[in-house]
Amino acid sequence: MRTALNRVRRVEMQSGGKIERDFVRNRRGRLRIVVCRTDRALSLETARCQRTLTASGSLTEVVRLDGTRGALSDEDLEKFVQSFPVERI
């Protein structure tokens, strides 16, 4: 797990993006990774999200946006993510 957390920190520093720090401190928290395509306008119709809840209570969300996130507010992103079911493993 230490290796994964170090990689998350490294990606955060390189990209200048926001990675949920609560997950680093609290592994039972939530980790959301948002991946965007920068070569086109945003289309939520073709975007995807995978939400996974582990037995230990950690929620991992991988959001793949088809386009740039620029015009998408945090509230709209939250609504989009919440529209996907949580898979339990």
Number of domains in the chain: 1
- Whole-model pTM above 0.75? no
With a cut of 80, say whether residue 16 has pLDDT above it: no
Confidence of residue 25 (pLDDT cuts 50, 70, 90): low
Distances (CA, A) of 64 to 6, 56, 74: 22, 25, 15
- Alpha carbon dihedral 72, 78, 81, 87, in 10-degree steps, equals 160
Cα 59 → chain centroid: 10
Domain range for 68:
2-88
